[in-house]
Amino acid sequence: MTVARSFEKPSFNWPTAIFMVVIHGLALLAFIPGNTTWGAVGVALVLHWITGCLGITLGWHRLIAHRSFQVPKWLEYFFVTCGALACQHGPIVWIGLHRHHHRYSDQPSDHHDAGKGFWWSHMGWLLREVPAQAEIDKFTRDIADDPVYNFFEKYFLALQLPLAVVLYLTGGWAFVIWGIFVRLVVVYHCTWFVNSATHKFGYRTFKTDDTSTNCWWVALVTYGEGWHNNHHAYQHSARHGLKWWEFDITWIHIRLLQSLGLAHKVKVVDS
Ligand SMILES: [Zn+2]
Ligand SMILES: [Zn+2]
């Protein structure tokens, strides 16, 4: 068993810490009788796919952070919007921090260095003022001046409001509780498992300079991102599941876009 290395924790990021406590608390409203309907659960699942798969995995991660394929600008902006609805900060900070992770994977300067323990890599780091935040500019020169990215950088939090209004008008509080609070919390933990669980559990196909692993259950809840050791080995590849059993539903989405003529310059391991 590995022992987490000791380190001096940066100061608390109070706004994020308070937000996380509040959103987890609000998600518990789902347990109150009357707040859960099949329709509300269905809405949460569809929004999980739109924000977690189309937004974070396909859009922010594979398309933009790694430029593993290209799409028309209007479609890129659509995926940027889906990602902003996941409310995981704005796209510039998210993409900058992700590229920073690949640059310093599991070194002390990696903001979610898995060597600092499971909790730290899962969500402990984001409740703190990690020094990596000061280096985001260095990693985001390609998107820093884009007005759409900057719009969502500013208003990603407010974006939940119009969505909440639409949900309330279509299905009442049950839709709001499941479509916003429960869905946000579930997508958060699914995304964070990529930083924690797939730097700890599973198998390693490639001897990378980090602790990344391939883990089937993380791949299931993150639309294919759980094949994280493959990803660390071949960061440019749009396809993360490389063996026949490594099911990667985001790769199927990308192939579909390609067959429709909407995705091009798709990079894979052999290219
Ligand atoms: Zn990545
Ligand atoms: Zn990683």
- Answer positive or negative: Cα dihedral of 150, 195, 256, 270: positive
Q: Ligand 1 mean position to 37 CA, how many Å?
A: 36
Count of Cβ atoms closer than 10 Å to residue 142 Cβ: 11
pLDDT at residue 259 in the model:
98
Confidence label for 87 from pLDDT (cuts 50, 70 and 90): very high
Radius of gyration for the chain, computed over Cα atoms and rounded to the nearest angstrom: 18
Q: How does pLDDT run across 123-165, given as a tens digit for each residue?
A: 999 999 989 988 999 999 999 999 999 999 999 999 999 999 9
Q: Is the pLDDT of residue 5 over 80?
A: no
Q: Is the pLDDT of residue 1 over 60?
A: no
Confidence label for 260 from pLDDT (cuts 50, 70 and 90): very high
pLDDT at residue 45 in the model:
98
Of the bound ligands, which one is closest to the alpha carbon of residue 240? 1
Confidence label for 2 from pLDDT (cuts 50, 70 and 90): low
The stretch 22-43 carries a mean pLDDT of: 96
Q: Is the pLDDT of residue 270 over 90?
A: no
Is the separation of the CB atoms in 236 and 63 below 8 Å? Answer: no
CA distances, 149 to each of 60, 68, 122, 204 (Å):
11, 19, 26, 35
Confidence label for 249 from pLDDT (cuts 50, 70 and 90): very high
Q: Ligand 2 mean position to 130 CA, how many Å?
A: 17
Q: Ligand 2 mean position to 203 CA, how many Å?
A: 14
Q: Ligand 1 mean position to 163 CA, how many Å?
A: 28
Of the bound ligands, which one is closest to the alpha carbon of residue 193? 2
Checking phi first, is residue 172 left (phi over 0); if not, alpha (psi -120 to 50) or beta? Answer: left
Percentage of the chain modeled with pLDDT above 90 = 92
Q: Ligand 2 mean position to 101 CA, how many Å?
A: 7
Q: Ligand 1 mean position to 61 CA, how many Å?
A: 6
Of the bound ligands, which one is closest to the alpha carbon of residue 66? 1
pLDDT at residue 49 in the model:
98
Of the bound ligands, which one is closest to the alpha carbon of residue 228? 2
Q: Is the pLDDT of residue 271 over 70?
A: no
Mean pLDDT of the chain: 95
Q: How does pLDDT run across 189-241, given as a tens digit for each residue?
A: 999 999 999 999 999 999 999 999 999 999 999 999 999 999 999 999 999 99
Closest CA to 97 of 25, 172, 164, 195: 195
pTM above 0.75? yes
Q: State the Cα–Cα distance between residues 139 and 123, nearest whole angstrom.
A: 22
The stretch 76-104 carries a mean pLDDT of: 97
